[in-house]
Amino acid sequence: MPSVSKAQIQAQDDAVYQAIIGEEKRQKEGLELIASENYVSPAILEALGSVFTNKYSEGYPGKRYYGGQTFTDQVEALAIERAKKIFGADHVNVQPLSGAPANVAAYFAVLEPGDTVLGMDLSHGGHLTHGHPVTYIAKLYNFIRYKTTAEGLIDYEEIERMAREHKPKLILVGYSAYSREIDYERIKKIADEVGALTMADIAHIAGLIAAGEMNNPVPIFDLVTTTTHKTLRGPRGGMIMCKAHLAKAVDKSVFPGFQGGPHENNIAAKAIAFGEVMTDDYKKYAQQIRKNAKVMEEELRNLGFKLMFGGTDNHLLLIDVTSKGATGKEAEWALDEAGITVNKNMIPDDPRSPMDPSGIRIGTPAMTTRGMKEDEMRQVSKWINEAILGKDDPTTLERIKNEVKEMCERFPVPGIE
């Protein structure tokens, strides 16, 4: 696999060069299980380092505030057209710098201060930007938070009851740690009954939706936001899709309402990523992500782990590790020592704190990009169990780290030699 040249950085700035080399080694020798991370193609890395980074282009294709926009217009229009085709969207804005800005710009497009929004509680799989009290938007809007049922599924009846009681202006679905399918038709019906708009944040599962592996809210919902760097396997960035009637409001909200000049190098990379998403290879990749997650579900359950939401329909698993005698923080640390990167995560109604919760979240997108399949998932599940049980035994953690490194050598990371 071709690597992306760093010759200029090496010649000019050794401190930065060493940091990049260190990160390449970490990515190459370790197993990446953070559900929101992935590896982009060498073409996407090149686009990120292209001369588009030099250009200011406030506005939109054909309607910019500065001159010199022939090629920024070309590349942005291409990204928009590809995204519209992939998701069946009426309108797409590819300028949001990431997922949180995309969500805030979507709120600004349709809400007035004080408006009520119904969104999922963070510990049940929601996201900070879905109204967690630590965020500024929670001071601006009246967020009411719903939860999953005791069985760990989205509680549609409760959402219906809360929607009737609170009459929200917006009902929000789409999650960061929830592992099950979402019934968008049912949410739309509830929203229509109470006169609410609908918004889905598909940041985690956009790639699975694009490949037809999960339900697509875009033809049904008013607003759909996503990042482009998770299962979509594009550059770090965001995107808003919406119905035609909200197109102007969304564009005005992103610029000039919220952001300044878009990052056209990033938008060029998004266009390349969308081109990749349209291929048969990508469809196979998305299918394998889910197969791999299912194998890990089965293995980890057999190893005695308690899986939140009863398992997975997508790319991730939220796991309670306390039954293995560890906290989420301890498990994250032990796995790090063993060359396996995960993130500690709250579980529904977690009695512990966000910095030392009861769970970890794992995902298969990055491992699947390296070409790992069912056999490797079985092995990784065993290592997870051994590392957590052996958290106080440096010899066990070192042994797993060496085994992880050995396996990783057989599965190259795109863009790294």
Q: Is 205 or 388 the residue whose CB approaches ligand DSN more closely?
A: 205
Binding mask 175-194 for ligand DSN (x = CB under 6 A): -x------------------
- Are the C-beta atoms of 340 and 324 separated by less than 8 Å? no
Determine the Cα–Cα distance for residues 99 and 130; give it in Å rounded to an integer. Answer: 11
- Nearest approach in angstroms of CB 129 to ligand DSN is 8
- Are the C-beta atoms of 291 and 365 separated by less than 8 Å? no
Residue 168 near ligand DSN by CB under 6 A: no
- Residue with the shortest CB distance to ligand DSN: 36
- Nearest approach in angstroms of CB 7 to ligand DSN is 32
Token pair listed for 322? 């306390």
Binding mask 123-162 for ligand DSN (x = CB under 6 A): ----x-----------------------------------
Active centre residues (catalytic):
56, 58, 201, 227, 230, 236
- Nearest approach in angstroms of CB 61 to ligand DSN is 28
Question: Nearest Cα to 116, choosing from 82, 140, 84?
Answer: 140
- Nearest approach in angstroms of CB 345 to ligand DSN is 9
Phi, psi of 69 (to 5 degrees): -105, 10
Q: Is 75 or 316 the residue whose CB approaches ligand DSN more closely?
A: 316
Determine the Cα–Cα distance for residues 187 and 159; give it in Å rounded to an integer. Answer: 8
Residue 99 near ligand DSN by CB under 6 A: yes
Binding mask 2-41 for ligand DSN (x = CB under 6 A): ----------------------------------x-----
Residues 6+ apart with CB under 8 A from 391: 326, 330, 331, 333, 334, 397
Angle at which helices 70-87 and 264-277 pack, to 10 degrees? Answer: 40
Angle at which helices 394-408 and 14-29 pack, to 10 degrees? Answer: 90
User: How many chain residues interact with ligand DSN (CB under 6 A)?
Assistant: 4
Determine the Cα–Cα distance for residues 80 and 94; give it in Å rounded to an integer. Answer: 6
Within 301-360, the residues that bind ligand DSN by CB under 6 A are none
Determine the Cα–Cα distance for residues 141 and 86; give it in Å rounded to an integer. Answer: 32
Within 47-86, the residues that bind ligand DSN by CB under 6 A are none
Angle at which helices 374-389 and 394-408 pack, to 10 degrees? Answer: 160
Q: Is 127 or 180 the residue whose CB approaches ligand DSN more closely?
A: 127
Residue 363 near ligand DSN by CB under 6 A: no
| Residues near ligand DSN (CB under 6 A) | 36, 99, 127, 176
